[in-house]
Structure 1
Amino acid sequence: MDLIKRVQDYYNWTLTLTDPRSKGWLLVETPWPTLCGIIIYLTSVYLGPKIMRNRKPFKLNNLLVVYNLAMAALNFYIFWQLLTASLRLNYSIFCEPCRQVWTPDEMQIVDAVWWYYFSKLLEFSDTLFFILRKKDNQLSFLHIYHHSTMFAFWWIGIKWVPSGSTAYPAIVNSFIHVLMYTYYGLAAIGPQMNKYLWWKRYLTIIQLIQFSGALILGFNGLRIDCEFPLWMQYTLCGYMVSFLVLFGRFYVNAYIDDHKQRQKEKHKEKLLANNNEETIKDKNVIVNGKKYE
């Protein structure tokens, strides 16, 4: 009971540090909507494949085209709102304090950060569509970790630090999501689009660059003693390290190891073809001047 009281007291103290500009906004006031969303998401991940086990996969191509292109449009809106306001405010990419001011440009950033947080709830649909289409191989630890934690961390962002240096990770990530959802929207149209989708591999490379850049900026903020919440800087650095490890492993498995495996298979096929040719030649015998096979 003493531990519970101390946790409650600590949480009540943190509430005195929240940003008043997002007070009362949808899903922001208490952690319960976010926690319930994550619990429902994780429960769906656990139960969904079991429910679908003996059912036929749904064909959702038309829905996927609409969903992915709509998400690309939403992320472009977020990207543009954050970028234009931060440029007008001359935000520094290296360190920008979160000032609790109510100017139109600052409120444009706060509003866009809320939409960015809300988009993480909408992105739970990515996993739902995998389950309904019985693409269980896509339900990796990376996928589930990424979706569940992003929703939680950006609730913290919109409630405590909805502007300042918070803007830049959202700017970069929302732009990458424009590319990503555009890719998946085009892929859902059908196999006739495959010749235009050669750039999937580069999406992962861009994401790795994003995480590396965010980690460098996070360490730099600690080095220069940036006027931004210290706990947020440490959280950012730790979170980016986890993404670098997980996405780096995914890249190695999906592209480097897979490429090596394909090369080995091609080499085996070539050797097998050569051996077959040699076998055919060996079977060609000449008897009394006549050739027999």
Structure 2
Amino acid sequence: MGAFLAVAQGSDQPPVFLELHLSAKKSTKPPLCFVGKGVCFDSGGISLKPSKSMGSMRFDMTGAACVLSTILTLAKLGSELPFDVIGLIPLVENLPSGKAIKPGDVVYAMNGMSIEVENTDAEGRLILADGLCYADTFKPSHVIDIATLTGAILVALGDSAAGVFTNDKTLWKEIHKAAANTGERVWRLPLYKHFSEQVKLESIDLCNTSKPSFQGLGGSCIAAAFLKEFTTSNSWMHIDIAGVVERKGSNPLYNTSMTGKPLRALVEFCELLAKSS
């Protein structure tokens, strides 16, 4: 897990890769696997963020919290699912130091792919890359990763919906239905081959941002295309929740800070999946 460990090396706090299992009483189907981004504080690393916005970067573990809460909620509800639910949560801090990863460094993911770290503030996709590789070892029916991954999703969708990228139309229909049932909007965005080409290099497999000619364009789609390289699943979904995690309007369902979205939708998704299995 070289990509995961590379992000963690700037901090004095050791990384943790948390693995959770909710076992079905009668498991008759392959497991469902969630992967949650757990950057417990994100300064941007050597590619340092502006200090004005850095205080809120302790919330960059919201994807991890969502995965943990989904499994905990299913357990408390006593949901009788015909499949196990697995949660994989890479936990790190992204900090600058003499030990920190530097722009231009090359790291290797669990599947052996080489990655040039063009920007240390694009660290979430690095830890998710290893999480997705590890998820494949369980031979799951579906793999879903949840992350506060890009500011670009906020530009595209505002705080109205989480962005969804998937290679499975049926999976999209299920999460869309679950989101509609719970009032937590999702919106599907493209995974064109065009975006995949922007993260591929000649001498190194991938770049963690994009080619110079495409810098600053389609950031959320670029990040999703990068993640797609690390899963062999034909039923994978990436949910970018960066735009929906903080309450920005008046809604009695949520407190004055973090919303917990899309927790309700994910729990409902699991229940719907159980009924259709």
**TM-score (norm. length: structure 1):** 0.32
Which structure has more strand as a fraction of its residues? 2
Q: Which has the larger radius of gyration?
A: 1
Which structure has more helix as a fraction of its residues? 1
